[in-house]
């Protein structure tokens, strides 16, 4: 079987890689709203993507489409899943710290990383390896709470120690001084350490940041 799809102009990485100035925030908001809609459609139909990153997000004018479904998984399939899934910079903490015990919420972490990158023209957590990736996450959003750590320890990765030095993290806001408070808040809620507390796609679409777009789209969110 073959899928014949519309030819798009470029991917998000190609859009931002050589830019010297920020994209207009309203344009980024439109793209991210469409990305959340794509993720919501997948999750609602029992599939999660597992490799959301700029190279897999295609655009043509103001239209965005999510592509490359080669890593998709059913949300109803049994854990553990493949450990080394998702490109490292967009990999959620539960993917890094456990032996394949993660869920569809990993996609939402990746959406937050992409949103930051499109707004800031640089990756949020550009780790050089698995350990450095965790270190960069902790340097910005801090080490996990005791409750979150207990949940993760149940499925601790054989390759990762949990003796993290405590860090409160610098926070995302100081890195996005050019962005609106609503944009920063949405990125922070998407890049929440504990997947149980992280926004789902439907919740993201209902975030106040997207209020103007919800009224211009015929949706029921």
Catalytically active residues are 51
Contact 33, 204 (CB under 8 A): no
For residues 196 and 49, what is the distance between their CA atoms, to the nearest angstrom? 18
The string of DSSP letters for 105-149 reads: HHHHHHHHHHHHHHHHSS-S---SSHHHHHHHHHHHH-SPPHHHH
Peptide bond before 160: cis, by omega within 30 degrees of 0?
A: no
Handedness of CA 146, 152, 155, 160 (dihedral sign): negative
Strand partners, 58: 11, 65
Spatial distance between the Cα atoms of 106 and 102, rounded to a whole number of angstroms: 7
- CA angle, 197 then 108 then 102, to 5°: 70
Q: What is the DSSP letter of 82?
A: -
Pair 90, 152: CB distance under 8 Å:
no
């Amino acid at each position: 079987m073959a899928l014949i799809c519309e030819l798009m102009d470029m991917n998000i990485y190609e859009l931002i890689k050589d830019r010297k100035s920020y994209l207009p925030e309203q344009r980024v908001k439109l793209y991210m709203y469409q990305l959340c809609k794509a993720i919501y459609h997948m999750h609602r139909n029992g599939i999660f993507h597992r490799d959301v990153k700029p190279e897999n997000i295609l655009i043509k004018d103001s239209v965005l489409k999510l592509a490359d479904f080669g890593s998709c998984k059913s949300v109803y399939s049994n854990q553990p899943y493949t450990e080394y899934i998702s490109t490292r910079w967009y990999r959620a903490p539960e993917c890094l710290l456990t032996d394949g015990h993660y869920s569809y919420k990993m996609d939402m972490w990746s959406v937050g990383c992409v949103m930051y990158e499109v707004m800031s023209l640089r990756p949020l957590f550009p780790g050089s390896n698995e350990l450095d990736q965790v270190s960069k996450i902790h340097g910005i959003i801090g080490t996990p709470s005791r409750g979150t750590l207990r949940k993760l320890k149940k499925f601790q990765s054989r390759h990762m120690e949990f003796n993290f030095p405590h860090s409160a993290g610098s926070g995302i806001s100081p890195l996005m001084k050019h962005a609106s408070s609503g944009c920063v808040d949405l990125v922070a809620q998407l890049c929440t350490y504990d997947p149980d507390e992280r926004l789902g796609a439907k919740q993201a679409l209902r975030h106040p940041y997207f209020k103007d777009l919800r009224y211009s789209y015929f949706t029921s969110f």
